[in-house]
Amino acid sequence: MSTIDFTETPVADFFGSNSFSNAVMKERLPKNIYQELLAVQAGEKELSLAVAEVVAAVMRDWAISKGASHYTHWFQPLTGLTAEKHDSFIAPTGDGKVIMEFSGKELVKGEPDASSFPSGGLRATFEARGYTAWDVTSPAFLKQDPTGTTLCIPTAFISYYGQALDKKVPLLKSVDALSTQALRVLRALGNETSKRVFTTVGPEQEYFLVDKEFYDRRPDLMLTGRTVFGALPAKGQEMEDHYFGAIKERVAGFMRELNTELWKVGIPAKTQHNEVAPNQFEVAPVFQNSTAAVDANQLVMETIRTVARRRGMEGLLHEKPFAGVNGSGKHNNWSMATDDGINLFDPGENPQANARFLLFATAVVEAVDRYALLIRSSVATSGNDHRLGANEAPPAIVSIFFGGPLTEIFDHIAEGKGNGKTESGGHIKIGVTSLPVLPKDVSDRNRTSPFAFTGNKFEFRMVGSSQSIATPNTYLNAAVAQVLKEYADRLESFKGSPASDRNGAIQEIIKESYAKHKRVIFNGNGYTDEWVREAERRGLPNIKNAVDALSVLTRSETISLFESHGVFTREESESRYHIYLEKYSKQINIEAGVTLELARRSVFPAASGFGAKLARDAAALAAIGAVSSAQEKRAQRVAELCSELFEETAKLETALGEAQDTADVQTQAKAYFERVRPAMDSVRARVDALEKLVSKEAWPLPGYEELLFKL
């Protein structure tokens, strides 16, 4: 599809034109219906069928006016992708004609076949019925392509018996849980006006672009999203000339069309730039309500792929598509705000705002420390195993960056020096005088920190580029909700007491909690070996692989946390453990299969044939007395590597077969991690060595030079 000419059509004129947003509903719906829908969005009312009927009719007319012929309940099953089943608006009239219909019932509920989606034992394969339910917190939108237009309605997805079969339902529940406990704390602090607390998210999406011609000649990229082979070229990212460099014309055209498509559906894409690795880029939106942000990010990933293909490229979202250069993450910028506009992580300029900020920031510190294993598990994938702990990514140790001034303030409180002044100046006694005025950029950003405070939000940098952000935000919301619940229990006991007693209790909570959990605060370089040793000394976990990280989902304390806040039942928690382990095993299984296929059917024939030619040429030279020792040595080395490759592929095949024959999901995942992956690495070492010896003309695969530098 062509890109809009911004000189003729200003962005403001088409932004959100394909989104059935609140602005569109306000304009098109009767005033009383719109007000009631706002109350439903705020959780104050349940959606009535009468209101749904009116909304459905208006939504249908809006969609049809823009060329839509079909609608779909757009949902997010536990595959981590999105799913959709399309239905047309047509309804036969009995006289051979049709009318265009869309009822309130069809808007509110759908019934896709749920039998083939992952359920982790929640349901039998033959149990097909599942339900999608309209998520009123996220706007409907239109998908347009050269073949037509479809109305997409964001929905939750549940089983016949009500279990969550998707990532949206737990997220919505976690937001409600956090809102409930945060409001209790706010009431204890004297806030009687805020009615709801919600989380906001701004995910920074990293990705690679490669030329479609080269992509189509790499079965590993097509089938797994990453290169299982690939020797580094003479130049990689060491010159640091790509980062924030001038954007190539072809990429700039892609970015312009990407922005246009995102803006049309109301996604506020704001920032774009070259990333560190060659042919790596980033796009970042403005903050949104977390449920809408999750939907938007899924659309961002899909649109990156779609627009890239239109322009003869392929968008790669794998966390580590190329070994030896930076991988891709998705920095999850997370904050908490009230419905009346208060950012709970915004340091204020008065005692009341100070107390609120310090208390909620302390709650995050405690939650991240207590539930570090759970937070680590939220980003546990086979792809992220290649990335976490590498040069460009935070380590697998969960820690928080506060920066000097803020750490100083908390240290003074924890040390009982609340009546004094910090070195930065200003008193810090809760409820009496103000903190030092903290600028928005209270400290430098720490790109090595997994969880960094960046002024009025926390940046969770461990999230993988291909992941749905729903799970990390669900776990984070639940963890913070639990800590806030415990704070609220303590503070509510002071209801009716003098303000000085309450202020003293607030200071005591901050002091006790921070002193106990400050071990998770680290402002230094998270890439160093010294930090690994220091983290171990502090007792911080360092879980380096997804298989071990996911085990926390079956622990009693995890299940209790989720059950107590209504986020997951025990069965739902355990099901996700099985689903994520199965996904891990399946991914490695595919990668191992591709490794064997490419090694045996492409690399080995090409390399051994080239080696044989070298040997023949060396023999021919020897026959005429022109001996070339270099030629002989090269031929000999190629032959040795081919022999080793033959042996290593046999070992990989054995390890793969043994893993495939393992029935227990946990034991199987461990087998893939402990035996299959190392065997794949051994095969790769031989292939990459051969790539350096075999001529480019004889090598069967496009190399990193083509993939990373030709666009």
Sorting pLDDT into bands at 50, 70 and 90, what band is 343?
very high
Please check whether residues 590 and 540 belong to one and the same domain: no
In a domain, 2, yes or no: no
Mean pLDDT of the chain, nearest integer: 90
Per-residue pLDDT reduced to its tens digit, 674-702: 999 999 999 999 999 999 999 999 999 99
Pick from 471, 468, 485: which is nearest to 177 by CA?
Answer: 485
Q: What share of the chain is helix, strand, coil (3-state, %, to 5)?
A: 50, 15, 35
Q: Quick check: is 574 in a domain?
A: no
Using only the alpha carbons of the chain, give its radius of gyration.
Answer: 28
**What domain count does the chain have?**
3
- pLDDT tens digits along 85-139: 999 998 888 888 878 899 999 999 888 776 778 777 776 666 667 889 999 999 9
Asked if residue 170 belongs to a domain, the reply is no
With 0-12 / 13-18 / 19 or more C-beta atoms within 10 angstroms meaning exposed / middle / buried, residue 645 is buried
Q: Which of these three, 568, 591, 612, is where a domain ends?
A: 568
Q: CB within 8 A of 594, min separation 6: which ones?
A: 219, 220, 223, 224, 228
Task: Give me the pLDDT at residue 123, please.
Answer: 67
For residues 434 and 474, membership in a common domain is answered with yes
Rounded CA-CA distance 438/214 in Å is: 50
Residue 585 to residue 626: CA distance in whole angstroms: 54
Buried b (16+ CB within 10 A) or exposed e, 515-525: eebbbbbbbee
pLDDT: which is higher, 97 or 53: 53
Question: What percent of the chain is modeled with pLDDT above 90?
Answer: 70
531 and 407 co-located in one domain: yes
pLDDT at 419: 41
243 and 313 both lie in a single domain: yes
Q: What is the pLDDT of residues 541-583, one digit of tens each?
A: 999 899 999 999 999 999 999 999 999 999 999 999 999 999 9
Strand pairing of 288-289 and 197-211?
A: antiparallel
Residues 161, 180 within the same domain: no
pLDDT higher than threshold 50 for residue 83 = yes
CATH code for position 374: 3.30.590.10
Which residue segment(s) compose the domain that 660 sits in?
A: 582-709
Residue 110 sits in the same domain as residue 190: no
What is the model's pLDDT at position 417?
60
Q: Are residues 593 and 704 in the same domain?
A: yes
Q: Are residue 526 and residue 652 in the same domain, yes or no?
A: no
Query: Which of 512, 543, 568 corresponds to the end of one domain?
Result: 568
Q: What is the CATH number of the domain that holds 618?
A: 1.20.120.1560
Q: Where are the alpha helices (DSSP H) in 135-272?
A: 168-188, 212-215, 219-224, 249-264
Q: Which helix (H) or strand (E) holds 404?
A: helix 404-414
Which residues neighbour 519 within 8 Å (Cβ) at sequence distance 6 or greater?
A: 369, 538, 539, 540
Question: Is there a single domain that holds both residue 547 and residue 680?
Answer: no
Reported pTM: 0.93
Query: For the domain that residue 26 is a member of, what is the CATH number?
Result: 3.10.20.70
| Residues 595-620: tens digit of each pLDDT | 999 999 999 999 999 999 988 887 77
Same domain, 54 and 92: yes
Residues 605 and 458 occupy one common structural domain? no
In single-letter form, the type of residue at position 442 comes to V
Give the pLDDT score at 113.
73
